[in-house]
Structure 1
Amino acid sequence: METSSSTIKQKWKLCAFASIIGCFILMLCLNENHNSVRLLAFQNKNTTNIISSLEPSSFIENGKPINGTKSIGHCNIFDGRWVYKPIDSPPLYDEFQCPFIGDQVSCQRNGRPDFDYENWSWEANDCEIPRFDGKDLLERLRGKRVIVVGDSLNRNQWESLACLLYSVIPSSRAHIHVQNGLHKLFVAKDYNCSVEFHWSPFLVQLDTSQANGTKVLRLDKLVTSAERWRGADIMVFNTGHWWVHRGKFRAWDLFGYRGELAKEMDIESAVEMGMKTWAQWIDDNVDSTKTIVFFRSISPEHKGKYWCYNVTLPIMDEESYAGDSFPKPVIEVVERTIRGMKTPVKYLNITKLSEYRRDAHPTVYVAKKEKQQPVVDCSHWCLPGLPDTWNRLLYALLVFNTSRDTGAGSSSHGLV
């Protein structure tokens, strides 16, 4: 009798153990299915809404700001936080193997001892931003032409983008052409696509041909290299910093407008005249069914209270930090001009997210010429580094581009 009772107890224990194992397996299956449903929901919902929901200050299209009301499934990819991910998000290219990185931003080559600035990832508050995929972007750019036009900060972005794409193809399948910093070209031969940089810090013409050496900033004439912009499938522009230079750093002697010259002019007025000249050219020469136009917002400097020297961490206290590194009236002129255009222009609003990254500048780690005084560069950005995030966001906007958002069919761009 005791033996029978013991046998029954053992059987009950085995049944109980088997039940526990079965429940655990069932929970794993349900969780996996739940994750798949969540991923599918993100793909079906966020991919169609990520652009249309951007806030007015972050995205301008069809001459008007898009409604920025937030709701479930809507996402502003420029609104988020920096997360340290040293293992999950390593740099996508090696600084020492990329031929596009200039001495000004080659921080490791110039002796910077820390690497943490390379390991911060920008995460949006309301959705997951895709990791940059160079192979995927090259496929989307097959047979297409990208131009990046502007000052040295846009050159900083071009260098980053060229390195990101160069790193995923054999070096023998790349064509590189550099012309004195004024024109840079990267071609991925197997994809028949090019990424070009055109130097134009004002977008309008700086005339240095005067017989007496006088330099005239002609606010009503586009830069002469603008003819090279024609036919591009994707355009990325910027301007700003050169307009506010003073003293020996000021690039012009006189302003020129409609045949008249002026020695002094309110900078906001000058920027507005120049921006309208650029906007008119875009409206007259760009077919928005074939070309996507981006304008990148101001890249902040870190001077004064938030000086970049010897800093290895981003600014993390958002409440106590208000970015004021650039004149707001100039920014407002740029945004107002874009809002008034008939051509859809996507505003790559990297200003705020970049303001927190005072750790990511070259500081003293810039190439020094013999006997040159120490330089602290708090304007440009180390590579790999922050401009890689700008290009990740550019990539996200291209991935999530739809005909409803851009006014252009997917067959015209090959980008969706």
Structure 2
Amino acid sequence: MLERLKGKRLIIVGDSINRNQYESLVCLLYSAIPSSQADVYMKGRSRFFRAKQYNCSVEFYWSPFLVQLKPKQELGGRILRIDKLSDWERSCRGANIMLFNSGHWWLHRGSLKKWDLFQYKGKVVSEMEIQSAFGKAMKTWSRWIDRNVDMTITKVFFRSLAPTHHGKEWCYNQTQPIKDESYVAKLPNPIEEVIEKTIGRMRTPVRYLNITKLTQYRKDAHTSVYTTRQGKRLTAMQRRQPESYADCSHWCLPGVPDTWNILLYASLVMDILP
């Protein structure tokens, strides 16, 4: 992978699950070189890895919606601008490999929901069907890719949704994957359909990194009560309350995201990297 990345930039944009994949990839690459040959640092919510000997970098940019979320303002709430990208687009121009994801934060409800209003083409509305709003945001993203990505120097990937394991297939205290071949997790298929349709209409070739089904079986691979909140491990008291604190969204490392990165590498090997 380092040889493939020599002299190149790989950028990863999205939510904390894509950050999970970034951390996996950095751990894999870091293990292959002397520590003195690696730079790892953070800037705000962005993260960076550089392998000096190979003159390559892997960069993560936080953007769970891909479009812009404005904080609470005089208009009465937090505004999700589905026709304007967030700041990642200024930092990512000219990258050689781009890996995106989105979807999880669009499905949040109640106290987890991060927006109050939608803004589209100058109009602010309080309600919009989520599939429609997500479709418009994906169109905003796809237009930027088509207008700004040079296909001769850049490859673009979009990763599918990573399943969570709640309810009947709760991740807490699980040590074995699901082995029932008939098991089908209940995922928000409309979101996946929007992604696939958007990619299918684009002028720029986008490789769809579909990790959903292979990941559905791994209810045992989440961080569960061994997760962190705001960068801190759960306390002993919190670990005794798994119904409130077990993290069934993010993944242990080494673990499932390593497989996603092996598939990413395989995709790069299948095509001659510019």
Question: Paired residue for 1:239?
Answer: 102
Structure 1 CA distance for aligned equivalents of residues 126 and 199 of structure 2: 27
Q: TM-score, with normalisation over the residues of structure 2?
A: 0.93
Contact 2:41 2:49 in 1 (8 A): yes
Out of 235-244 and 224-233, give the one that drifted further: 224-233
Question: Paired residue for 1:142?
Answer: 6
Q: Tell me the secondary structure at the aligned position of residue 365 of structure 1.
A: coil
Contact 2:225 2:234 in 1 (8 A): no
Q: 1:370 to 1:213 in 2, by over 3 A?
A: farther
Question: Paired residue for 2:198?
Answer: 337
In the TM superposition, 1:16-415 aligns within 5 A as 137-180=1-44, 182-208=45-71, 210-211=73-74, 214-319=77-182, 321-324=183-186, 326-366=187-227, 367-369=233-235, 372=238, 374=241, 375-402=245-272, 413=274
1:123-180 alpha-carbon deviations (Å, 9 max, x no partner): xxxxxxxxxxxxxx11111100000000000000000000000011111111111124
Structure 1 CA distance for aligned equivalents of residues 76 and 36 of structure 2: 44
Q: Greater strand percent: which structure?
A: 2
1:280-315 alpha-carbon deviations (Å, 9 max, x no partner): 000000011110000000000011111111111111
Q: Which amino acid aligns with 2:17?
A: L
Structure 2 CA distance for aligned equivalents of residues 281 and 188 of structure 1: 29
Q: Tell me the secondary structure at the aligned position of residue 158 of structure 2.
A: strand
Q: Tell me the secondary structure at the aligned position of residue 161 of structure 1.
A: helix
Q: Which amino acid aligns with 1:334?
A: I
Identical pairs, percent: 59
Structure 2 CA distance for aligned equivalents of residues 333 and 154 of structure 1: 19
Structure 2 CA distance for aligned equivalents of residues 304 and 175 of structure 1: 41
Structure 2 CA distance for aligned equivalents of residues 312 and 372 of structure 1: 20
Q: TM-score, with normalisation over the residues of structure 1?
A: 0.62
Structure 2 CA distance for aligned equivalents of residues 223 and 265 of structure 1: 20
Structure 2 CA distance for aligned equivalents of residues 225 and 166 of structure 1: 24
* Count of residue pairs the alignment pairs up: 265
Structure 2 CA distance for aligned equivalents of residues 332 and 260 of structure 1: 26
1:186-217 alpha-carbon deviations (Å, 9 max, x no partner): 00001100000000000000011624672100
Deviation at 1:323, TM superposition (A): 1.8
In the alignment, structure 2 segments of 5+ residues that lack a partner are 228-232
